[in-house]
Amino acid sequence: MFNFKNKSVPTPPHFFWKRSRQENFSSFSSSTRHLLNYCDGKCNGFTLAEVLITLVIIGVIAAITVPTLIVKYQKEQTVIRLKKAYSTIAQTTQKAIADNGPITTWEVNNATFADKYLVPYLNVARNCRFDRTTSGCNPKHAPLNDQSNLQDYSNSNYIFYLSDGTIVIVNAVNESGGRKYANISFDINGMKKPNVSGKDIFSFRYEIYWANSPTQTGKFFPTDFSFDRNSALNYPNWGCNKNASGTYCATVIMKDGWQIKDDYPW
């Protein structure tokens, strides 16, 4: 209170604030004291309109970037799983040859090929073989150009699961001309969707014997890996494009150095 000629006058509130502030300034750093002096009754917070505008801008940026990041992550995970499945099968060849003799002498039918040359050398979590009645033993597949047309694998296909959940589908073939091979498909995320060639299902071929191309004998590569990248991408029937089945998509990925590039039909 101020005393003017014995009359009490209320002390202005800001007087106490200023005095208290001055007494406590010593506890602040020089930069903080400068800010307090500068903002003495002059600094304001953000208005509601400014906050809303900022949130809208952040939302727009997120809407643009988040889907792109999700797709990028999905592509990376697809390549990682595919490469792992391919390497796992490829590494069995020398072991199987050591135990069973030259690859050109191997028996080529679904049961024998899988039971004798693949399953013993892999970490198999579940072996369905030709069972289609037990839950999990009847996976679906669809071509890239008709993704909603989910179909069963034929009863002649041999099916088993690797320990990481990858489904392996085996179909050994004896052609009339003497060529022998085994088509091996991977569903890299098991029974989960989309179950579509080129998305989570990829086709490979194990060449057992091919008189017209002896250098291919004993090789395990994506189907028709002899095609150049452009042919595998644009082939009309089995190519890696949205107007074809997607059979050659593993070939495209591998020829691109284990990448899914921008022109891949994702």
Question: Using one digit for the tens of pLDDT, what is the confidence trace for 142-199?
Answer: 999 999 999 999 999 999 999 999 999 999 999 988 899 999 999 999 999 999 999 9
Tokens of 69: 């990041």
Residue 7 has pLDDT above 70, yes or no: no
Q: Which of 195, 203, 124, 130 lies closest to 165 in space, CA to CA?
A: 124
Instruction: Give me the chain's average pLDDT, please.
Output: 87
The predicted model scores a pTM of 0.77
224: left (phi over 0), alpha (psi -120 to 50) or beta: left
Question: Does the structure show a pLDDT above 70 at 84?
Answer: yes
Neighbouring C-alpha atoms within 13 Å toward the C-beta of 68: 6
pLDDT of residue 178: 85
What phi and psi values does residue 18 have, to the nearest 5 degrees?
-65, -40
DSSP string over 27-46: GS-HHHHHHHHHTTTT----
